Structure 1
Amino acid sequence: MSVIRSAGLRGFRATVAELGGNAEEYATACGLPIAALDTDELLVPDQAVAAVLELAAHRLRCPDLGLRMAHRQDLDMLGPLALAIRNSPTLAGVLACTSRYLFVHARSLSLTMEPDPYGDRGVIALRYGVAAPGQPIPVQGADLGLAFVHRTIQRLTEEKYGLRSVELPYRPLAPLSAYEEFFGAPVRIERPAALLRVPSSLANRPLSGGDENLHRLALAFLAEQSGGAHDTLAPRVSTALQKLLGTTAPEIGSVARLLTVHPRTLQRRLAAEGTCFATLLDEVRRTEARRYLTTTNMPMSQVASLIGLSEQATLTRCCKRWWGATPSDIRKGRANSG
């Protein structure tokens, strides 16, 4: 069974309510837990998500439901992948990390860059794929996916990006005018694949506001996730904290975004494992502080900053609590090794 994070249903409840429907009724009919309508981190069958979109569109007589939902979705729904995307230096970098790690959000989805199907050398095609062999294309799901990609590119480039055309592999029930108004470009139907045709120069356009270090950290974290998840959450929290220290505030919200869980969910799961966020942060700081103090000659103020402490005096208090010694004593080997 292929699954998708329930973040893919963002905006469903509000859109259905706006149209006079009952989102919980539709979710139950398709075998989805009600909680999936209100949280991002549940893993639910992707076929059930596609089915609930189609059911709602049919019951509410709203053939452009996917396009409407797209207005309520944003990049944050992709969790740690969103951090990598926002801090990519170019759109080509965005496409590279999305193509490689979109499975973190949904294993059945793909986004690839291909030559223009019409042979225009000044155009490339962004192909949005749903891997469902033998299954009909989920129209609302494909509409939502293409619309999400379109709106994300708009936000990243902060302008109209020169979309040449939208290619749909089906004949939608909604009027083409609704699609052309949404995308601001011609729409062609019953084509071989779902594509956005964009200027080839777009790939190398630099993006503003990114942080190269955060981009690197997010990619490292995604690579670690792709190697297999830990059975417990605590080791993953510790790894994330180690990567974040010295680069951004080691707050529970930052770690939760990297782990693609809600902060309250993170707290509950850590409590079930017999620990808490503050304890793990303290342990990581202690380990990193000893490493910096015993293997480098960095100034104490720099060591404090690298483990996420605001000042040297706080480092001194922590060292006395951890080892009953000052940072200078640790550096000189005058403290216990615990």
Structure 2
Amino acid sequence: MESIPLIRAAAAYDLVRFLQGCAMDPAPIFASTGLDIEKTNDPYATFDLERFTELLERAAEATGDQAVGLKLASLHDLSSWGAYGYLVLNAPTVGACLRCMAEFLEPWQMGTYVKCIRDADVIGIEYSIRHPTIRRREQDAEYSVSIPRRLVSKLTRNSADPIEVTFEHQQISDDATYRRYLGLKPIFGARVNSIWFDRDLENVPNPNADVKLFKIISEHLKDLSQKLPKDTDLLAVIETQVRDLMAVRTPTIGDVSSLLRLDPRTLQRRLKDRGTCFSDILDRVRHQEALRYLEQTRMEVKEISYLLGFNDASAFIKSFRRWTGETPSTFRSKIS
């Protein structure tokens, strides 16, 4: 069994802007953790979560500023997170925004506990990286908890501060800095990172919500969440990576091995030990996705072949006949 928590590379987009604003070249800091800075512009690319948290810590050390996580959140642009960001930004109410932030984070960041909690008086988010190997995570905690604060502040036009913030770690910035970016002094040494707001904010409308777009993206992300591996099996993780990459290009073993921090030959050997190979996994994912598109959408065969990375429709039809013994059109006609 393998444990490989990942995060969307777009999460580091704000850090690039922040370091540039400090008149620093961000590339060497990214390189020092083995991360490719160019991937921050790709909403489907991923980073190793441990390297991402280390990246934030090294940025704090390079700038001599322990408030990097807090300041990054003040620059945060959720739209850079692709579908997840647009879902949150188009949720109809403040409460719906917070619930979506928690409910749909998993496809964008693994190895993490996050939950939106409501009771009679408060609504809030709990957040904690639970992966045992990730120890340096203070900056990530302050960055992640500050993002909901920025979102709620934006939706309420700066009229609502949190009523409580907690961090697992001990204090790393002065009281004035926390009050500036969070509106209060947090509680430190808590069991979990969290941020809490008055429950009255839950039904405050989002003035910029696109309800139709919200429903479409919500269904897409629910479908994606159902495909996520519920354990740390290597094959399940690879299938998830292949499915995600397929949205932008035909994935290769080099793409996936890079995401998993493995030499391609090492990955090939591990797959062989499990009785399979990368081309078999790619073929299996294509088969699964082809069935889904034919059953759940009205897309033409030519469009589906493009989404699955085939050079033309005839190559897709040939593969589909190998999988099922019939053409895509025949298969679709039987289920209509």
| TM-score, normalized by the shorter chain, greater than 0.5 | yes
Are the equivalent residues in 2 in contact too, given 1:232–1:273 (CA < 8 A)?
Answer: no
Q: Does 1:212 align with 2:201?
A: no
Are the equivalent residues in 2 in contact too, given 1:163–1:196 (CA < 8 A)?
Answer: yes
1:227 aligns to what? 226
Name the CA distance, whole Å, in 2 between partners of 1:144 and 1:81: 17
The residue matched to 1:198 in structure 2 has which SS? strand
Name the CA distance, whole Å, in 1 between partners of 2:20 and 2:90: 35
Are the equivalent residues in 2 in contact too, given 1:111–1:126 (CA < 8 A)?
Answer: yes
Name the CA distance, whole Å, in 1 between partners of 2:59 and 2:15: 9
Which of residues 70, 73, 91 in structure 1 aligns to 2:73?
70
Are the equivalent residues in 2 in contact too, given 1:50–1:141 (CA < 8 A)?
Answer: yes
1:52 aligns to what? 55
Identity of aligned residues (%): 18
- How many residues align? The count is 251
Gaps of 5+ in 2: 228-239, 249-285, 300-305, 314-335
Name the CA distance, whole Å, in 2 between partners of 1:272 and 1:115: 43
TM-score normalised by structure 2 residue count: 0.64
RMSD: 3.4
Gaps of 5+ in 1: 246-268, 277-294, 296-338
Name the CA distance, whole Å, in 2 between partners of 1:87 and 1:37: 23
Which of residues 96, 104, 109 in structure 2 aligns to 1:106?
109
2:190 aligns to what? 191
Sort the Cα spacing of 1:90 and 1:179 in 2 relative to 1 into closer, same or farther, 3 A: same
Question: Within 5 A, what are the aligned runs for 1:163-202?
Answer: 163-202=162-201
Sort the Cα spacing of 1:114 and 1:28 in 2 relative to 1 into closer, same or farther, 3 A: same
Are the equivalent residues in 2 in contact too, given 1:2–1:107 (CA < 8 A)?
Answer: yes
Sort the Cα spacing of 1:232 and 1:10 in 2 relative to 1 into closer, same or farther, 3 A: closer
Sort the Cα spacing of 1:171 and 1:199 in 2 relative to 1 into closer, same or farther, 3 A: same
Question: Within 5 A, what are the aligned runs for 1:293-312?
Answer: none
1:152 aligns to what? 151
Summarize deviations over 1:173-218 as a string: whole Å, max 9, x none: 2212111111122322222221112102222333333233222211
Name the CA distance, whole Å, in 2 between partners of 1:19 and 1:86: 28
Name the CA distance, whole Å, in 2 between partners of 1:115 and 1:275: 50
Sort the Cα spacing of 1:79 and 1:109 in 2 relative to 1 into closer, same or farther, 3 A: farther
Name the CA distance, whole Å, in 2 between partners of 1:123 and 1:271: 45
1:142 aligns to what? 141
Are the equivalent residues in 1 in contact too, given 2:112–2:131 (CA < 8 A)?
Answer: no
